[in-house]
């Protein structure tokens, strides 16, 4: 069955970016000129996703506006003879941008569960927008969909991190590896330092079977006192195929200020219009 729906959990408060996120959702913070959530939606569109499901919360209304028709803006630009390319990907197909609210901050697993009735009985994708993944040839989700067509079941993106960073992430207990696919034998959310089964972390891209929703419904709170998606996914191992997909590309952790600054700098340096000048300026600045 093809993957038609993607869930974007965007209810987080973004406190690490205060005061920027006091009135602006963190998912709308721009990397160069596109909001983070736009990169996530572009990645989904490239992978063939049709229905975008945003799990929002209070103060996230601007995300709905971002993906709506901006009638006035579009008309003024058209009247001025200005191209509308800059708005590409922001006007989602009517009915294919769906917003549901997570009323309490009970964790990623709970946020995904909030989309259960819209997902229904089909496999679906999840993209965490603050993990900005820039694929080398294809986007991350498109790379995963290509693997899904071969093996089906459940897939998570897998990336190596230094061992000391493992307590911050969901971590894979890996089995046999075959090309970009690694069998997932176990999953653990935020293991204590020195206890991680590997340094293969989950950078926020998933293709899951709908059965995970039933498991999330009764999932007890785990790491950090939150309902963890990782814990419910772990229960699918052994019942359904489960693989990690090694991602070919770069990762920017835009949930942290350092990663966000790095993403802005790296992508601006590659920008056709300003990249060369910025690189020259940076070289002079750093001596």
Residues contributing to the site for ligand G1P (CB under 6 A): 108, 128, 131, 169-170, 189, 201-204, 228-230, 255
Report the C-alpha gap between 193 and 200 in whole angstroms: 14
Angle between helices 140-151 and 36-46 (to 10 degrees): 30
The CB-of-274 to ligand G1P minimum distance in angstroms stands at 29
The CB-of-195 to ligand G1P minimum distance in angstroms stands at 15
Degrees to nearest 5, angle at CA 139 with 137 and 240: 120
Tokens 């997570």 sit on residue: 102
The CB-of-218 to ligand G1P minimum distance in angstroms stands at 18
DSSP single-letter state for residue 240: B
Residue placing its CB nearer to ligand G1P in the complex, 90 or 131: 131
Tokens 């590659």 sit on residue: 270
Residue placing its CB nearer to ligand G1P in the complex, 14 or 123: 14
Residue placing its CB nearer to ligand G1P in the complex, 92 or 207: 207
Residue placing its CB nearer to ligand G1P in the complex, 43 or 189: 189
Report the C-alpha gap between 264 and 275 in whole angstroms: 11
The CB-of-224 to ligand G1P minimum distance in angstroms stands at 7
Considering only CA atoms, which of 53, 42, 37 is closest in space to residue 99?
Answer: 53
Residue ranges of the alpha helices (H) in the chain?
36-46, 61-66, 71-79, 108-113, 116-119, 140-151, 211-217, 229-234, 257-269, 275-286
Residue placing its CB nearer to ligand G1P in the complex, 92 or 236: 236
Is the separation of the CB atoms in 172 and 202 below 8 Å? yes
Report the C-alpha gap between 147 and 41 in whole angstroms: 20
Residue placing its CB nearer to ligand G1P in the complex, 92 or 172: 172
Tell me the residue nearest to ligand G1P as measured from the CB.
170
The CB-of-201 to ligand G1P minimum distance in angstroms stands at 5
Residue placing its CB nearer to ligand G1P in the complex, 27 or 131: 131
The CB-of-215 to ligand G1P minimum distance in angstroms stands at 15
The per-residue DSSP string of 134-164 comes to: EESSS-HHHHHHHHHHHH-SEEEEEEE--GG
Euclidean distance between the first and the last CA atom of the chain, given in angstroms as a whole number: 55
The CB-of-133 to ligand G1P minimum distance in angstroms stands at 11
DSSP single-letter state for residue 237: B
Report the C-alpha gap between 217 and 273 in whole angstroms: 49
């Amino acid at each position: 069955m093809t993957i038609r729906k993607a869930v974007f959990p965007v209810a987080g408060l973004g406190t690490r970016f205060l005061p920027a996120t006091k009135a602006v959702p963190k998912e709308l913070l721009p990397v160069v000129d596109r909001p983070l959530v736009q990169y996530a939606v572009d990645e989904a569109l490239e992978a063939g996703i049709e229905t975008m499901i945003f799990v929002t919360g209070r103060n996230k209304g601007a995300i709905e506006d971002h993906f709506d028709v901006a009638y006035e803006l579009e008309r003024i630009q058209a009247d001025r003879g200005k191209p509308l390319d800059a708005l590409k990907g922001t006007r989602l197909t009517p009915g294919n941008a769906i917003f549901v609210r997570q009323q309490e901050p009970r964790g990623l697993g709970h946020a995904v569960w909030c989309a259960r009735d819209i997902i229904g009985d089909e496999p679906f994708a999840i993209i965490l927008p603050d993990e900005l993944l820039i694929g080398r040839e294809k986007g991350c989700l498109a790379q995963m969909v290509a693997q899904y067509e071969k093996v089906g079941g459940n897939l998570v993106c897998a990336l190596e991190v230094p061992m000391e960073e493992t307590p911050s992430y969901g971590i894979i207990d890996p089995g046999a590896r075959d090309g970009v696919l690694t069998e997932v034998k176990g999953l653990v959310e935020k293991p204590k330092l020195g206890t991680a089964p590997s340094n293969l972390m989950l950078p926020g891209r998933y293709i899951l079977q709908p059965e995970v929703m039933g498991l999330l419904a009764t999932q007890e709170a785990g790491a950090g006192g939150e309902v963890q998606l990782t814990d419910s996914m772990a229960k699918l191992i052994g019942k359904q195929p489960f693989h990690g997909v090694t991602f070919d590309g770069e990762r920017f952790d835009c949930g942290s200020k350092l990663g966000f600054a790095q993403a802005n700098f790296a992508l601006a340096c590659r920008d056709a219009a300003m990249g060369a000048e910025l690189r020259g300026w940076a070289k002079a600045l750093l001596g």
